[in-house]
Amino acid sequence: MKHPMRYLTIAGLVVALSACGAIVAGLIPDQEIDDAFGLDGTEVTASAAGAAGATATLATSQLTGSFSATVDSDGLDDFPAIVRDAARAASISDVLTIRTTVEVSAPGNVAFEGSYTITGVSLGFEVFDGATSVLSQDWSNDALSLTFTGSAAFDGSDTRGTYSAEVDVPMITLTLTSNQASAYFDLLKEPGTYTLTGSITLEVEPAFPADADMTFTLKSLGGELTF
């Protein structure tokens, strides 16, 4: 008779703790969080896709690039203890855009347009805690209109220029939910270092010169941590 009572007691404790966790989570208001994924300030060079060999004279509307970041977590020191002690997070988000200055370059004497508009973006990354992958996720936004204007000039060997992007126009919202959010939240709660590697694809109009590069810096506009 002791064993059934013991199991019932443990089961009742689990239910009680689960219910308590749900109540505590319900008491925590949404928290503003800056640069949730540590990508603010990350520089990316995106190149005209497939611009090599026979296709080098063809313009393209698609640019692709990769990036990496080493992020130092402070263990959410800036947040109240009730947030740091929470068992799970329901969602973690960040809104990304690009900083104002955009650099362009291409080998040889190349004609760049006076302005370009990013009309779509796809972004994905994987987070590593040491050698272990914590999560991997992809996002996209195909309803974008982010314009940058400027000019480029031939310097005798290459064409280079500087463009200015529209200020603080959201480019893409990155959101983790459910188990992904919980796994990442567990990582954020522990002071330490983790790494993030990813890729980005931009759709640009008008077509970008083939064999050309666009270098920009990611900027966080902030996001939310919810329970």
| Local confidence pLDDT in tens for the 227 residues of the chain | 333 323 233 333 333 333 444 445 567 899 999 999 999 999 999 998 654 444 445 678 999 999 999 999 888 888 889 888 888 999 999 999 999 999 999 999 999 999 999 999 999 999 999 889 999 999 999 999 999 999 999 999 999 999 999 999 999 999 999 999 999 999 999 899 999 999 999 999 999 998 899 999 999 999 999 99
pTM metric for this prediction: 0.83
Q: Which two tokens stand for residue 216?
A: 């920009």
pLDDT in tens, 158-185: 999 999 999 999 999 999 999 999 999 9
Count of alpha carbons within 13 angstroms of residue 50, beta-carbon side: 7
Are 146 and 129 within 8 A, CB to CB? no
Rounded Cα gap, residues 202 and 179, in angstroms: 29
Q: Which two tokens stand for residue 133?
A: 């992958």
B/e letters for 190-205, b = 16+ CB within 10 Å, e = fewer, are: eeeebebebbbbbbbe
pLDDT in tens, 196-226: 999 999 999 999 998 899 999 999 999 999 9
Are 122 and 200 within 8 A, CB to CB? yes
